[in-house]
Amino acid sequence: MATRPPAAPWVRPPLRSLRWIESFLSGLNGEGFSDATAVYAYRAFTSFLLGHLLWEVAAHGADISTADASKATPGQLADLLAQYPTLRRLQPELAQDNSRKEFEHSLANLMRRLEAAVAKDERYQQAGATRRQAVADGGG
């Protein structure tokens, strides 16, 4: 999930297909995003997606802990947790599964961030004005 293509190690996981990434970025450019805003949107989206994918995998029981932690006995884990009173106190709230609500909230936040980015993007604003004029002229 978090690997990178050897031909382009600077791309971000979880998207590994250069074709998908090309399509994503060129699609944003095609809608009027400047290169800088397209890269911003790509980074924001991949961070959002990777975070939620990792959380979902963990929530469904996959072991994403370090090797040392996964070998600990329940007693050792309880001893370790005893060192963290805030974690112990908040355990009931932290153990609640609010993934659906958190996903929706995070997605809405991502959309607000992208809206703010394109609002500052002169190329996007010019492309939008061109599209609006084409519609007003009966061509769109």
Token pair recorded at residue 62:
């996959």
Sign of the Cα pseudo-torsion (116, 120, 124, 130, in order): positive
Q: Where are the alpha helices (DSSP H) in 31-84?
A: 35-59, 67-70, 74-82
Q: Closest by alpha carbon to 34, among 130, 123, 129?
A: 123
Whole-number pLDDT of residue 65: 63
- Any idea where the domains of the chain sit in the sequence? 18-66+111-136
Whole-number pLDDT of residue 112: 95
Per-residue tens of pLDDT for the chain, all 140 residues: 456 666 677 777 777 778 889 999 999 999 999 999 999 999 899 889 888 888 888 877 777 665 555 566 778 877 877 888 887 787 788 777 777 888 899 999 999 999 999 999 999 989 888 888 888 888 76
